[in-house]
Amino acid sequence: MEKTGNAGGGLSTLTGPVEIIGVGLLGTSVALACSSAGIEVLLSDAVASHVRTATGLGAGRRRKDGDQPQLIVVAVPPAHLGEVIVKALRENPDAVVTDVGSVKASPLAYVREHSPRDVSRYVGGHPMAGSERSGPLAATSALFEGRPWAVTPHADADPRATQLVDELAALCGGVPLSLSPEDHDQAVARTSHVPHLMAALVAGRLAVAPEGHLGLSGQGVRDVTRVAAGDPGLYGQIVAGNARAVTDLLTEVRAQLDEMIAAVGNGDAAALDVLLKEGQAGTRAIPGKHGGPQTAQAIVYVTVPDEPGNLARLFADAGESGVNIEDVRIDHDPGRPVGVMELVVAETAADQMQAVLESRGWVAHR
């Protein structure tokens, strides 16, 4: 991922230096991506040892007096975001400032209030990437590879500042998506925060299940509840930062839930059908792989003895079919050491995949 910079570029071409304030997982990952693209990276953190660690990883060097960053990336915890952004804007009157926080309206409001004449140089960002781990040692320049990266210009943003943040996202391997800060916060409420919260409620009912009832759990409930396994402390903070959009949407969900309870309780099949059909339409509204429309897919189920090497053999055999595998999943087995693998392929290719696998001795079905 070489940077092919415009030699005569001004503000709107990312040439560096880039300063990273806060060298945790996200900050250090951005630093590594910039460094490996040949851009000079300056590192700052309230914890001095973090800077030493990030420096040791080749992420950049400590910022010194006289350094003049072109772009500053603020990657500190949500509670300090506004404050650190304002400080960076004031102390670097020529720099563009962005951040990587998961909500976008509140930091902008903070900048408008505390440093209104600098607001044109602040354009927020939000890479949709993360890890179960945290801290600089978990960082990697590959973290953003292929992930959406929201860039959130506002009415007073300098277009050259926006351009610079777009370039940063692309340089890190992300896919820049432009949204207003308010639209961003509503969008993540819908695509991330509310799904997480509802998953937590469904999972919460599992926590209080009578003995033995969870033995009937299949892949469906595992999928629905998986995200709820995430850190409650962290997720609570994220949701708190987007309280308005989240409560608005949760209130919509509650109205729908009331309709659903009435429909099921009254045996009103037509009313339930409306709700289920809207849900089905929603699953189809999620952008398809590669951003294109979703294509009709089918699942080929394959029985796989649960030992190292068998998956390799399966994928080698599946590869011989010439059919592209769109998604995969291992369905867990409650009683014995065998797994059922779900291979998601284009519907038109499912028979071919099944036939190839069966010809090589796999037990496969659709």
Chain positions 262 to 281 lying near a copy of itself, rule: CB under 8 A, are: 264-265, 267, 269, 272-273, 275-281
Residue 337: asked if its preceding bond is cis (omega within 30°), the reply is: no
Binding to a copy of itself by residue 217, rule CB under 8 A?
yes
Residues between 240 and 259 that touch a copy of itself (CB under 8 A): 240, 243, 246-247, 249-254, 256-258
Binding-site string for a copy of itself from residue 294 to residue 333, where x marks contact by CB under 8 A and - marks none: ----xx-x-x--xxxx-xx-xxx-xx-xxxxxxxxxxxxx
Nearer to a copy of itself among residue 116 and residue 218 (C-beta): 218
Nearer of residues 46 and 202 to a copy of itself, judged by Cβ = 202
Category of 267 on φ-ψ map: left (φ > 0), alpha (ψ -120 to 50) or beta:
left
Question: In this chain, which stretch among 67-75, 79-87, 93-101, 141-149 interacts with a copy of itself, using CB under 8 A?
Answer: 141-149
Identity of the residue, 109 or 253, whose beta carbon is nearer to a copy of itself in the bound complex: 253
205 binds a copy of itself (CB under 8 A): yes
Contact 313, 302 (CB under 8 A): no
Nearest residue (CB) to a copy of itself, 155 versus 281: 281
Residues 65-124 that bind a copy of itself (CB under 8 A): none
Three-state DSSP string of 100-111: CCCCCHHHHHHH
Q: Tell me the closest approach of the beta carbon of residue 326 to a copy of itself, in angstroms.
A: 7
Q: How far is the CB of 30 from a copy of itself (least distance, A)?
A: 14
- Evaluated on CA atoms 99, 18, 177, 29, the torsion sign reads negative
- 360 Cβ contact list (under 8 Å, min separation 6): 317, 320
Separation of first and last alpha carbons in the chain: 41
Q: For residues 280 and 342, give the distance between their C-alpha atoms in angstroms, rounded to a whole number.
A: 21
Using rule CB under 8 A, residue 346 touches a copy of itself: no
Span 38-57, contacts to a copy of itself by CB under 8 A = none
Radius of gyration of the chain (CA): 24
Name the residue nearer to a copy of itself (CB basis): 15 or 354. 354
Rounded CA gap, 96 and 77, in Å? Answer: 20
* Residue 151 near a copy of itself by CB under 8 A: no
Torsion angles phi and psi, residue 80, rounded to 5:
-105, 0
